[in-house]
Amino acid sequence: MVRTRWYVVHARDIDEVGRAHGEVFAEHRPAATALVVSGLTDPGMLVEVELDAYRADRA
């Protein structure tokens, strides 16, 4: 299972971030959430991506 969250400073960037996300995860689309935020800790950053991944042990 993979889940991603994108924090985007400008709503206008959602489509571009979505395209990049699609390129990275072309074969296996994860659950994804996009959030528009007022800012990030580093004012020079426009996008932050979080990724959680779980791999079940196979017996």
Residues 46-56 have pLDDT tens digits of: 999 999 998 88
Count the Cβ atoms, other than its own, within 10 Å of residue 19.
Answer: 9
Residues 17-46 have pLDDT tens digits of: 999 999 998 888 899 999 999 999 999 999
Structure tokens at 1: 């299972």
Listed residue (29, 45, 33) closest to 4, CA to CA? 33
Task: Name the pTM for this structure.
Answer: 0.77
| Calpha distance 4→21 (Å, rounded) | 9
